C-alpha cells in the first residue's frame, strides 16, 4: 500500500523523472504543431523559451489609440499580407493571428471569414468596420524584431501578463 504525503507537503523526489513511453499514446498533432512552427518559435528547453519571450517582452511597447484612427493597408502586389497603421507611427504593424482576431472582434467581423479572403478584400471590410463602429480607446502591444508586429489589441484598461512569467526560473 502506498503512503500518501500530507496535502501541504510535496513527495520527496529522489531520482530524476522518467517518461514511460509504453503508458502513453502517440499524438501526431504534437509533432505537426512543432514542425509547422517557424524556426524562431521552436524551443528545445525552458531556458531558451524564457530567453525568447523575455527578450520579446523587453522590446515590447504599449500605447493607447482611438480605434477609428487605425488604418488598414493591403497591397495588391502581396495578396497575403495585411498591415495596420496606428496614429503617431508610420511603421506598419503586422498583426499576429491573435491580434488580427482581436481587431476583427472589435468591429464585429468574423475573423475566420476575413482570413479566407484576399488581403485587399479583408482590408476593405476591416477598414469599413473600424471607421463605422462606435469607436473606443484600444491598447496596442507591439514588438520590434526586424519588423513591427502587433501582438495584441485590447481595451485600454487591460493589464499585461507577460509570456515569460509562467516559464520564469524564479517566482515573481
What does the pLDDT read at residue 7? 52
* Entry pTM: 0.70
The values of phi and psi at residue 72, to 5°, are: -105, 130
- Average pLDDT over the chain, rounded to whole? 81
> According to the model, what pLDDT value does residue 161 have?
66
Task: Tell me the backbone φ, ψ of residue 68, rounded to 5 degrees.
Answer: -70, -15
Measured in Å, how far apart are the chain's first and last C-alpha atoms? 38
Q: What is the pLDDT of residues 115-147, one digit of tens each?
A: 999 889 999 999 999 999 988 999 999 988 778
Decide: 86 and 69 in contact? Cβ < 8 Å: yes
Helices 119-132 and 97-106 pack at an angle, to 10 degrees, of 40
Nearest CA-CA partner of 66 in 50, 47, 83, 88: 88
Q: Residue for cell digits 522518467?
A: 18
Decide if pLDDT at 13 tops 70: no
| Residue 26 clears pLDDT 80, i.e. is over it | no
Kindly state the helix (H) or strand (E) to which residue 12 belongs, with its residue range.
none
Categorize the per-residue pLDDT at 171 as very low, low, confident or very high, splitting at 50, 70 and 90.
very low
Listed by start position, the domains of the chain span 56-155
Q: What percent of the chain has pLDDT over 70?
A: 73
Q: Which residues in the chain belong to E strands, given as ranges?
A: 60-66, 71-74, 82-85, 94-95, 137-144, 148-155
Amino acid at each position: 500500500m502506498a503512503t500518501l504525503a500530507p496535502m501541504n507537503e510535496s513527495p520527496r523526489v529522489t531520482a530524476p523523472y522518467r517518461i514511460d513511453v509504453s503508458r502513453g499514446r502517440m499524438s501526431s498533432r504534437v509533432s505537426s504543431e512543432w514542425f509547422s512552427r517557424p524556426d524562431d518559435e521552436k524551443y528545445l528547453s525552458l531556458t531558451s523559451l524564457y530567453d525568447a519571450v523575455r527578450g520579446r517582452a523587453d522590446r515590447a511597447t504599449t500605447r493607447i489609440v482611438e480605434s477609428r484612427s487605425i488604418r488598414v493597408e493591403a497591397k495588391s502586389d502581396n495578396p497575403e499580407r495585411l498591415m495596420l497603421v496606428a496614429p503617431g507611427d508610420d511603421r506598419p504593424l503586422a498583426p499576429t493571428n491573435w491580434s488580427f482576431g482581436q481587431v476583427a472582434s472589435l468591429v464585429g467581423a468574423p475573423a475566420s471569414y476575413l482570413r479566407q479572403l484576399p488581403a485587399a478584400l479583408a482590408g476593405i471590410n476591416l477598414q469599413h468596420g473600424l471607421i463605422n463602429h462606435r469607436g473606443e480607446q484600444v491598447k496596442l502591444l507591439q514588438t520590434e524584431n526586424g519588423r513591427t508586429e502587433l501582438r495584441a489589441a485590447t481595451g485600454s484598461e487591460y493589464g499585461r501578463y507577460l509570456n515569460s512569467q509562467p516559464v520564469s526560473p524564479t517566482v515573481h
